[in-house]
Amino acid sequence: MKLWDKGFSTDKKIDIFTVGNDRELDLLLAKYDVIGSLAHAKMLHKIGLLSKDEIGAVEKELDAILEQINTGDFTIEDSFEDVHSKVEFLLTQKLGDTGKKIHTARSRNDQVLVDVHLYLKDELNEIKSLTDIFFKLLMDLANKHKEVLLPGYTHLQVAMPSSFGMWFSAYAESLIDDVYFLNAAFKVVDQNPLGSAAGYGSSFPIDRKNTTDSLGFQTLKFNSVAAQMSRGKTEKSVSFAMSSVAGTLSKFAMDICLYMSQNFGFVSFPDELTTGSSIMPHKKNPDVFELIRGKCNKIQALPYELTLITSNLPSGYHRDLQLLKEGMIPAIQSLKACMEMFTFSLKSIQVNTNILDDKKYDYLFTVEEVNELVQNGTPFRDAYKIVGAKVNNGDFEPNKEVKHTHIGSVGNLGLEEIRNKMQNALKL
């Protein structure tokens, strides 16, 4: 069944090419298509286009379809082009002419738009929730290991003292920036496009404020052309937010892969969270974190994929826009899986508490000695030369007591301030 059927059939090859994997992806949107149809039907009743008996029958059947979806019994067979055609077929099969009225004053274009907007709202909220769970774990680890020193690096050269507390809470605070991006994307998504029809409105006296309220959108996408143009822009907004989260996860995963290697030996994980080699019996490979890194790097490419699909398209609908779902929906599922797996694995991280006993980390404390000389009255440039000479002559003996006191330093991580910052970000 095709919603645009005019009584003739297209070539089978054309059907396969144009439909693609829409049916599979639409199963994730099916719930939202029914929710959107319910809101639309109630609005049609409100303006007198569906009678009391008709809206009662439509609501009953849509509720039944929604139950099928929730129990996993809903399917979209090859004979249907997409979820919209399947839902309309089921209504018409049960209700006859009443089922045919459901498409009054709307187009498949704004059906897709409202489905995607509702889907993305739910997914953004879930990603925020997963981000908060990960954040809380990082903050707990930061507090637990705040006294354990860790080498800090610049240019991958030993630089200055850091700590596991600083390392964990650095990634925790980075997640707050990611939440800001998620909030911005949510604001873009939280606009009702329903009623824009094919992109130019309708001659029916529809009540778009009614559907905006019943669907729980904060506001309406008022201009019908602007509503249609939001397709692509909406997905790109969400993809940039996802890319921000993915960038944080990827960088953290890289740190873990590096720190797990024998050359560093800063952290380890239980055997059940690592993999071995087919020929090297000593191996404990960080496959989980390598895959998180790879998957998250792939997600970071998504905004550019969507940009290229939509680049230079004029206003109005174009079939190119169908391709947005192919990248967007799997990427959302991948990001959520990465977040869940990272949280699951990180709970079992084991930190090395004696890292700085190795003499190769003595130079971490050169700046500490320079600063101590300065505090005792030596000009900074002179102090720098004095300590530099000790290093060159092999005479440098570090004082490994770290006396950092300002907020955000090893000695004053500001954990409570970071927690409050995240709480405020999550409220937006």
* Of 208-217, 223-232, 268-277, 330-339, minimum mean pLDDT range: 268-277
Judge whether 24 and 329 are in contact, CB under 8 Å: no
Give the right CATH number for 12-103 from 3.20.180.10, 1.10.275.10, 3.40.50.300, 2.160.10.10.
1.10.275.10
Asked whether the domain spanning 108-357 has the same topology as the one spanning 12-103, the reply is: no
Domain topology for 108-357: Fumarase C; Chain A, domain 2 (1.20.200)
In the predicted structure, residue 212 carries a pLDDT above the cut 80: yes
39 contacts 126 by C-beta, under 8 angstroms: no
- Model confidence at 11: pLDDT above 60: no
Lowest mean pLDDT among 21-30, 49-58, 145-154: 21-30
pLDDT digits (tens, 9 = 90+) for 298-343: 999 999 999 999 998 999 889 899 899 999 999 999 999 999 999 9
* Closest alpha carbon to 289 in 309, 268, 306: 268
% of the chain surpassing 70 pLDDT: 93
| Residue 282 confidence (pLDDT) | 67
Question: Tell me, what's the pLDDT at 7?
Answer: 53
Q: Are 183 and 238 in contact (CB under 8 A)?
A: no
Does residue 37 surpass a pLDDT of 60? yes
Q: What is the pLDDT of residue 6?
A: 47
Mean pLDDT of 277-299: 84
pLDDT reported for residue 9: 52
Mean pLDDT of the chain: 92
Residue 415 CA, distance from chain mean position:
24
Answer yes or no: is pLDDT of 15 > 70.
Answer: no
Whether the pLDDT of residue 202 is over 60: the answer is: yes
So what's the pLDDT on residue 274?
A: 76
The residues spanned by each domain of the chain are 12-103, 108-357, 360-421
Residue identified by tokens 């500001």 is 414
Q: How far apart are CA 265 and CA 257, in angstroms?
A: 10
**pTM summary value:** 0.91
